Amino acid sequence: MKIIDAHIHFCQELYFDQIAELAGHENTSAHLKEQYAAHNIVHGVVMGNRSLELSDHHYPDDLSYCIGLDSTCFKVEEAVRQADLVEKHLLRKNCVGIKLYPGYNHFYLYDPVVDPFYQLAMQYKKPVAVHTGLTATSNALLKYSHPLILDEVAVRYPQVQFVMCHIGNPWLVDAIAVIEKNENVAADLSGILEGRIDRMTDFFAEKHGYINFLKVWLEYLDKYDRLLYGTDWPLANISNYIEFVAHIIPEKHHDKVFFDNANRIYQLGL
Ligand SMILES: [Zn+2]
């Protein structure tokens, strides 16, 4: 089975190096390439971090990227100027969307300051991926990353395709409601595992309640054409993640979740 990893980070810095090690990986493009070959992962979508400069976003051919407005590079008071820069990215073929980090940046998705970015997404017909759910740093604010907030912009911008990253975890029921109601909202399943898990069978037994809850609500939703495989590399172990997603998604939907949906939503042309 061919796989697209619809959510990775590709940042050469100490923080990412350390989390890669905990996941049993090395945060290098050579190691990533080797892992991709070993698991038949044919493409990855990078969620951008750290900079909006065009020169900071060069990736190997098997990676595309969403230009990311993380808390280190996005300034609310400079949003208009920064939107110009984002537009230059969207003109590139390998820039396949915009990534927003409201919890880390302390803004609501429906704040007018974000409007220029939705306008660009509409104009260039590229999706807006949004970090939802729990955050990795304690100075982030959860009230901004709650999945329910996505409902208002999904309604306001029906032509924009949204990707709810991490499916709002652990607010899964709220996330499912937003996805069910809004056809323009998909979700990636990244960021649910972290580190390396020695035996997945033990993990499935220990986390039986949680995993069953997730499966139950995905079954209830029954929108397997809007769920995307993603890992949040280098946060989690690749082989663990494939096993995890294969376990929570019924086998007849694997091709869609592991490949087709990302290919269609990020318009990768694979
Ligand atoms: Zn991420």
Q: Dump pLDDT digits (tens) for 167-181.
A: 999 999 999 999 999
In Å, what is the CA distance from 106 to each residue of 39, 117, 136, 139, 224?
37, 16, 14, 10, 31
Contact 49, 68 (CB under 8 A): yes
**Residues near ligand 1 ion, CB 5 Å cutoff:** 47, 232
Residue 130 pLDDT exceeds 90: yes
Instruction: Say how many Å lie between the CA of residue 49 and the centre of ligand 1.
Output: 9
Residue 76 pLDDT exceeds 90: no
Instruction: Say how many Å lie between the CA of residue 247 and the centre of ligand 1.
Output: 21
**Block residue for tokens 């920064």:** 82
Average pLDDT estimate for 212-217 = 98
Give the CATH number of domain 3-265; options: 3.30.70.100, 3.20.20.140, 3.40.225.10, 3.40.50.11810. 3.20.20.140
Instruction: Say how many Å lie between the CA of residue 70 and the centre of ligand 1.
Output: 11
Instruction: Say how many Å lie between the CA of residue 12 and the centre of ligand 1.
Output: 15
Count CB neighbours of 18 within 10 A.
12
